[in-house]
Amino acid sequence: MAFKFFKNGSLRGEKGQVREDSTIAAYIRTALRFLQIVLGLTVITLYAPYLVRAHKQGKYQDSKWLYASITGGLSMGFAVLLWFLRGWLFFCLDILIWFQWLVLFGIFAKLYVPENPEGNKDIQKMKNAVWILLINNLLWLATAIWGGIKYFQVRKQPTPSVV
């Protein structure tokens, strides 16, 4: 009676299946998820040291850097989870994570894109990190669109008759 959300299982009453087990589309989807995991880890390694440094010095931990680290961790976790699940069924999670990356990109782009680093390595590092946020944003948007397309393709397939 339990739902089977894994790729090899099926949902009870599921209309149809889109097979992408060994197609080029599956390899592209796997590559996108792998990049999401790697870039999520990259964002954590870019922003978490500032949180650790502030904590060790007993200073205020900025919520922007905390939000960046949490978003990186959530995106890594969901990318791993969705790698093993039917990604098209959970495309709403892709949309949620995409929105988090969009907000994060907006916050840090406003802070650092117009800023002149003037030899400050930390500011230059954050300016470069903004573009990693943009790439993450685009990757999650791509998987959300892909999952949405697959979801609606499955919904349009005829339901097998049960006699």
Question: For 148-161, what is each residue's pLDDT tens digit?
Answer: 888 888 777 776 65
pLDDT score, position 161: 59
Residue 91 has pLDDT above 90, yes or no: no
> 153, 139, 151: which is closest to 28 by C-alpha?
139
pTM higher than 0.95 for the full model?
no
Q: 53-82 as b/e, with b when 16 or more CB fall inside 10 Å?
A: eeeeeeeeeeeebebbbebbeebbebbeeb
Distance CA(81)–CA(33), nearest Å, equals 10
Distance CA(18)–CA(55), nearest Å, equals 49
pLDDT score, position 7: 52
* Per-chain mean pLDDT for the chain: 84
**Quick count: other Cβ atoms within 10 Å of Cβ 153?**
12
pLDDT score, position 12: 45
pLDDT score, position 117: 86
